[in-house]
Amino acid sequence: MNKKERIGFISQTLEQLYPETPIPLEHSDPYTLLIAVLLSAQCTDERVNKITPELFKLANNPMDMSKQDVEVIKAIIRPCGLSPRKSQAISMLSKILVEKYNGQVPQTFEDLESLPGVGHKTASVVMSQAFGVPAFPVDTHIHRLAQRWGLTSGKNVEQTEADLKRLFPKQTWNKLHLQIIFFGRQYCPARTHVAENCPICSVILKK
């Protein structure tokens, strides 16, 4: 199976297995999505979804969040890890959204990535899932699968993102990144991975 055939098989298999791709992080608007994605750094989506109801009950918009004491935010989000840094970022970015963007989440990569605690991957998730702008957020799981499937030889997520954007049509990016995440969790984990039991690896990794 050459690379073109591999890409076609991967796309077809993912579409068959995951025709619908619900957003894993529970949210109600671009702001709550932004906060949930920020919290998900080095934390599972499942845990974030357990924490955000309490946080958003406290404040679910930039104006209300900007008025909260950082220590209160930190106490709520502690189970997500990195709480000192994340609570500061949530407080600061909320104030910036109020002061600079009229309480709205900006809709450009440049503006999003200028916010505290918001890197390229977080901005990509918000742009794709909140605003429908084609993006290909690459986390460590997508990076791992892309390497396993021979789609990239990139040493980092930046190179992997560039390779995946080159290999797959732009109109598929937003759905595809979620399909790969779902597939990795169900069939292609980092550990205890059995290639013969994986619908993709069992075919494309055959010698």
Catalytic residue ranges: 121, 139
Locate 128 and state its tokens. Answer: 């794709």
Count CA atoms within 13 Å of residue 191 on its CB side: 0
Alpha helices, H only, the chain: 3-17, 30-39, 45-58, 62-66, 70-77, 83-101, 109-113, 120-129, 140-148, 157-167, 173-186, 201-204
